[in-house]
């Protein structure tokens, strides 16, 4: 049985003119322990897809199944790391993680919960900042807290919605490694949504492009058959990496061009001319 399965999932956001189908016929299967990345253009429907899998919104038609059971609500079994950290500003790093852990394990003792918080804060190298509030942290540190918070709840599946998009290249690279370390240690199932092909190839077992919407749908998948742990510096010379990178970028460029050529939008430029020109 597939761990996560989307069967012919469609999502339309209703509006006064009837609505737009953002996602069309999404079929996706993820097996236990797999790391899958979905790459897509901005606005193609990636967050909509995450919200459907997370149970925050319902499909207009089709089914989302987690371990064979239809997803009808959010659950601690699926931990989401969002792109905007979403930390509570009045709580410290430790308190932000504690709150989530308490919600996930309401019957555990305070001491046990505090020990979990300490472990996960240490795991993302933030022990010295455990008593700081979000406004005292850099963007990279805040995202680390968000990672610790999601993982401390011990979800069976980690869903990441462009979690590293706002970070500089160095911080991004470090956090990619931290997420991979945690994923490989506990062998959880992971879904990464990203607009960065290199990030997808470095982290995932499979990459699936999301064709731009409206009516966005998943394209052909690319299997990244590169041994783990992967070495970022030697990846550039790896033939499998180069082959996949070129194929994915070519595919994305082709569908990008296709989208441009079918666009009916026309732009009228205003008729203006300078009243006077002084050299
Ligand atoms: N609640 C909503 N109501 C109406 N339309 C929505 C809603 N949420 C998203 N959309 C529309 O659906 C489309 C896809 O949005 P979504 O946020 O899923 O894309 P995305 O790929 O995550 O974008 P980005 O990369 O910019 O974060 C957009 O055109 C957006 O305007």
- Three-state DSSP string of 149-182: HHHHCCCCEEEEECCCCCCCHHHHHHHHHHHHHH
pLDDT tens-digit map of 214-255:
788 999 999 999 999 999 889 989 999 999 999 999 999 888
Q: What is the ipTM of this complex?
A: 0.96
Q: Max Cα separation, the chain?
A: 78
pLDDT recorded at residue 1: 82
Q: How wide is the angle at C-alpha 219 spanned by C-alphas 7 and 189, nearest 5°?
A: 60
Task: Tell me if 44 CB under 6 Å of ligand 1.
Answer: yes
Residue 42 near ligand 1, beta carbon < 6 Å: yes
248 lines ligand 1 (CB under 6 A): no
Task: Give the closest residue to 142 by CA, choosing from 83, 207, 80, 55.
Answer: 83
Take atom 3 of ligand 1 and give the residue whose Cα is closest.
13
* Structure confidence by residue, pLDDT tens digits, 246-277: 999 999 988 878 776 665 556 565 566 666 65
pLDDT at position 43: 85
Q: Nearest to residue 151, comparing CAs of 76, 65, 85?
A: 76
3-state DSSP assignment of residue 147: helix
Angle at 199 between CA 193 and CA 202, to 5 degrees: 120
Q: State whether the beta carbon of 43 lies less than 6 angstroms from ligand 1.
A: yes
How far does the centroid of ligand 1 lie from the alpha carbon of residue 176, in Å? 25
User: Which residues are paired to 26 by β-bridges?
Assistant: 9
Whether a cis peptide bond, with omega within 30° of 0, leads into 214 is yes
Q: Which residues sit opposite 206 in a β-bridge? A: 36, 223
Residues in the chain: 279
Q: What is the DSSP string of 26-83?
A: EEEEE-TT-EEEEEE-TTSSHHHHHHHHHTSS--SEEEEEETTEE--S--TTEEEE-T
- Unique residue bearing structure tokens 């006064």: 16
- Run of H or E residues at 189: strand 189-194
Q: Is 211 in the pocket of ligand 1 (CB under 6 A)?
A: no
Residues contacting 260, CB < 8 A, separation 6+: none
Residue nearest to atom 10 of ligand 1 (CA): 13
Q: What is the mean pLDDT of residues 71-79?
A: 92
184 or 202, which is more confident: 202
Question: Counting beta carbons within 10 angstroms of the beta carbon of residue 93, is it exposed (0 to 12), middle (13 to 18) or buried (19 or more)?
Answer: buried
Domains of the chain, by residue range, sit at 1-77+170-176+188-261, 80-154
Please choose from 12, 14, 17, 43 the residue to mutate so as to test ligand 1's pocket, defined by most ligand atoms within 8 A of CB.
43
What is the CATH number that goes with domain 1-77+170-176+188-261?
3.40.50.300
Q: What is the reported pTM?
A: 0.88
| Shortest-distance Cα residue to atom 31 of ligand 1 | 43
Which residue owns the Cα nearest ligand 1 atom 23? 43
How high is the pLDDT of residue 273? Answer: 64
Distances (CA, A) of 277 to 117, 218, 273, 274: 67, 53, 10, 7
């Amino acid at each position: 049985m597939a761990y996560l399965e989307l069967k012919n999932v469609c999502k339309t956001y209703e509006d006064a003119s009837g609505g737009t189908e953002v996602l069309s016929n999404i079929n996706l299967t993820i097996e236990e322990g797999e790391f899958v990345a979905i790459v897509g253009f901005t606005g193609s429907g990636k967050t909509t897809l995450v919200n459907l899998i997370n149970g925050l919104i319902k499909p207009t038609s089709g089914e989302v199944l987690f371990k064979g059971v239809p997803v009808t609500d959010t659950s601690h079994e699926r931990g989401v790391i969002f792109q905007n950290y979403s930390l509570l500003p009045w709580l410290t790093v430790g308190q932000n993680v504690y709150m989530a852990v308490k919600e996930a394990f309401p019957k555990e003792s305070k001491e046990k919960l505090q020990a979990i918080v300490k472990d996960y804060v240490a795991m993302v190298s933030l022990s010295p900042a455990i008593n700081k509030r979000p406004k005292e942290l850099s963007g990279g540190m805040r995202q680390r807290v968000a990672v610790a918070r999601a993982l401390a709840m011990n979800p069976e599946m980690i869903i990441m919605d462009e979690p590293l998009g706002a970070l500089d290249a160095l911080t991004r690279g470090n956090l990619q490694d931290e997420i991979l370390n945690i994923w490989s240690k506990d062998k959880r199932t992971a879904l990464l949504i990203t607009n960065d092909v290199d990030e997808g190839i470095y982290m995932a077992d499979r990459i699936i492009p999301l064709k731009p919407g409206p009516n966005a749908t998943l394209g052909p998948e690319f299997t990244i058959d590169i041994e783990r742990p992967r070495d970022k510096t030697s990846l550039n010379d790896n033939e499998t990496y180069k082959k996949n990178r070129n194929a994915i970028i070519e595919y994305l460029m082709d569908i990008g061009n296709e989208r441009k050529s079918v666009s009916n939008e026309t732009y009228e430029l205003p008729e203006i001319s300078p009243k006077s020109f002084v050299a």
